Each structure stands twice: as structure tokens, then as C-alpha cells.
Amino acid sequence: MAVETAVETAVEAARRFGDRAAFVTDEGLSLGYAEFDRICDETAVGLAELGVAQGDVVALALPPTPEHFIAYLAAAKLGAVTAGVNPKLVASESEDNVGPGPAHLGCNSVARARFGWF
């Protein structure tokens, strides 16, 4: 059995499950598999326009919401690596948690407005 990447799994789920709910938020908003994959593609384009490329590190300071998974998969579609950062940390604390090199880009709740998530 072949191991699939997160990107391959999401694309296959979009094909197989289409409009079935992939995520349902606490507020009752539903996001289907196909729409999730489409938003990830659009977000990947936005990240690329911001200069994110293969091998870059994208710091994700997001709670476990659909936006976190969108940003994660969008980065993966570009071949970028993500570093999860506790969104409750202040900037000086989170800078120490990203790793040995600087992150190319950081995503937090402010990114919602930039990418139009929900």
C-alpha cells in the first residue's frame, strides 16, 4: 500500500467526497472537501505571491480551526514546511519556537482577512 502525502489525500478526498462536510465550525459553518481543496489552492497562490516557495518555513500561529489546516495544506502544496507555534504566545516567545532559521512567513488570525477565509 502506497503512502500518500497530505496533498494527495486532500485532492483524493475532494474528488471522492465533494460537498460532504470536511469541517463544521462551532458557529455552524460547514466546509466541504472540494471547497476545502479549492480554498487551499487559492491560498497557495496567495502564499506564492508573498514569496513562499519550496523549502521555506511558514510559521502557523493558529488555533486548531479550518484556517490552520488550510494554511498547512496550502504551504504543503508549494513544498514549504510549516512550524506550528502556540497562538497564545507573545511575539518574542513565538520567535524562539520556530526553529534554527527564520520563518519566511507567519500566519495568524490576521491572515483571515488577507485570504478571505470564511
pLDDT digits (tens, 9 = 90+) for 3-60: 589 999 999 999 999 999 999 988 888 999 999 999 999 999 999 988 899 998 888 8
Residue 71 lies in a domain: yes
Residue 44 lies in a domain: yes
What's the whole-model pTM score?
0.79
What is the per-residue pLDDT across 63-92, written as a single tens digit (0 to 9) for each?
A: 888 888 999 999 999 999 888 877 776 666
Task: Report the domain count for the chain.
Answer: 1
Kindly provide the b/e burial profile for residues 51-61, where b requires at least 16 CB atoms within 10 angstroms of the residue's own CB: ebeeebbbbbb
H-only helix segments in the chain: 6-17, 33-49, 66-77, 91-95, 111-115
Q: What is the CATH number of the domain that holds 31?
A: 3.40.50.980
How many residues does the structure list for the chain? Answer: 118
Whole-angstrom distance, CA of residue 44 vs CA of residue 22: 19
State which residues form the domain around 71. Answer: 6-115
Residue 48 lies in a domain: yes
Collapsed DSSP state (helix, strand, coil) of residue 115 = helix
Residue 87 lies in a domain: yes
Residue 1 lies in a domain: no
Please give the DSSP secondary-structure letter assigned to residue 19. T
